[in-house]
Each structure stands twice: as structure tokens, then as C-alpha cells.
Amino acid sequence: MKAFMNKTVITYGTFDMFHVGHLRLLQRLSEMADRVIVAVSTDDFNLGKGKRTLIPYEQRAQIVESIKYVDLVVPEESWEQKLQDVKKYDVDIFAIGEDWKGKFDFLSDLCEVRYLERTKDISTTDLKRSLKNFLSIPQEDLRQAFEVLELLRRDLE
């Protein structure tokens, strides 16, 4: 049983291509507080930031909402929203990845601000980059590679 005396933590993110780094973040948040709120960036907000998502907002929100560590999912629609959310949801801890270090210190008058270490060797950006590289391989090269793999498989039988 947790004994945080009804503490609330909030985080923000796109959560595109959900991976183990996302899961570990949400688990860590649940260890900090009784209530975990996740603001998932909407498609329009991401476009305004110059980001394209592979998975639409509704599906990303549904995935995050289904995680046992999460109590509430809300849409993130603007940068300014963070200040409003901290007040609206009576947030005790604002937590976000260390790559944002210092960017949200202005919230420290209202709540504790924590910058969390990211999961080593995994990021959505890296996954997207790998996928893009894979998709740029000519079809003929892929076909030949699979033929070689099939021959190797037969040799190993």
C-alpha cells in the first residue's frame, strides 16, 4: 500500500510508438504519488511543434489510459496548459524527461518539479529513424536479402 497522502503527479508527452521507456516512466511516476495524470499531446499540438505522429491521438490516449499505473489521461493542446493543469488538478509533482531540464522550473512555485532520467538506448525518435532507414532500402535489395536468409534457414535445418 502506498503512503503518499494523496499526492498527484503529472507528466506530458506524445507517447507515439509506445515502448518500454514509456512504460518505465509511468511506473516510476506511480511510485512517486497516489494519482498519476498523463497529458498526451494532440495531433494538432504536435503539428504545431513540427512533429508528425504515426499513431493518432485517440489511439495514443487509449493506450496510455489502459496502463495500470495511469489514473487519468488528458489532452495536451498547448505549452501554456501546464500552468493551468498544475492548478486545476492540484498537482504536487510535475515530472518530465531530463532532456527538458530547466524548461519548467517556473512551475516550482506551485509544485515540485522533477526531471527524470530517460531509459537508456531507447527513444521514439530512434525507432522512427530506424523505420525510415529500413523503408528507404530498395525493394529489390530487400527481396535478395530475404532470399539469402531463406537459404541460410534451409542450411541450418
Q: What residues are annotated to the active site? A: 49, 51
67 beta partners: none
> Which residues are CB-neighbours of 102 under 8 A, at least 6 positions away?
115
Return the CA Rg of the chain. Answer: 20
Q: Which amino acid is at 71?
A: D
Cell of 124: 521514439
Q: How far apart are the first and last CA of the chain?
A: 52
CA distances from 143 to 108, 137, 140, 146, 155 (A): 55, 10, 5, 5, 19
Tell me which residue of 39, 38, 22 sits closest to 75, measured CA to CA: 39
Cα dihedral angle (97, 101, 102, 104), rounded to 10 degrees?
-10
